[in-house]
Structure 1
Amino acid sequence: MLPWIGIVLTLWTGQTDERPAYVREGDRIEQQFRAYRDRLNQFLQSLRGAVRQTIAADPGNPATAATARLWVSIPATDRG
């Protein structure tokens, strides 16, 4: 008679959250998503800061940059 009391107590104490399983799982997934989003935002902010520092440190020569952008190499495809 006593062994079943242990099983009942185990099942009874294990079900402390009254919400359905799909709601608990949805909440868990949402917490993971928010943590991931926060980490991603922190990374993007640090990347943005690093890019700004790099651009401010070395603005380069605008004439050289324009020349480099305009130079295109086209291979000869019509050899007769």
Structure 2
Amino acid sequence: MKKMISLLLFLILISPVYSQKRAFTLDDIYRVKSVGSPLLSPDGNQIIYSVSQFDMKKGEFSNFPVYHGFKWGQQIKTEPRG
């Protein structure tokens, strides 16, 4: 009985791996972006953080600062990518 439960659990856990349309490659890892630690301005109205991504053509990491201004309690509006 334990073997049957173990086999069933194993099959359930590996099923997402086989549902992918293509294999995960090293290029996929390099496309992942990392977000750096955020810093809040002294007045609390702006935030800055960095986004890093490996550039395959240059062979180095690129860092991009991102600034956002906001007020506390303000709803942040987002739109789906289309």
Q: TM-score normalized by structure 2?
A: 0.31
Q: Which has the larger radius of gyration?
A: 1
Structure that is richer in strand per residue: 2
Which structure dedicates a bigger proportion of its chain to helix? 1
Higher relative contact order (CA 8 A, sep 6+): 2
TM-score, reference length from structure 1: 0.31
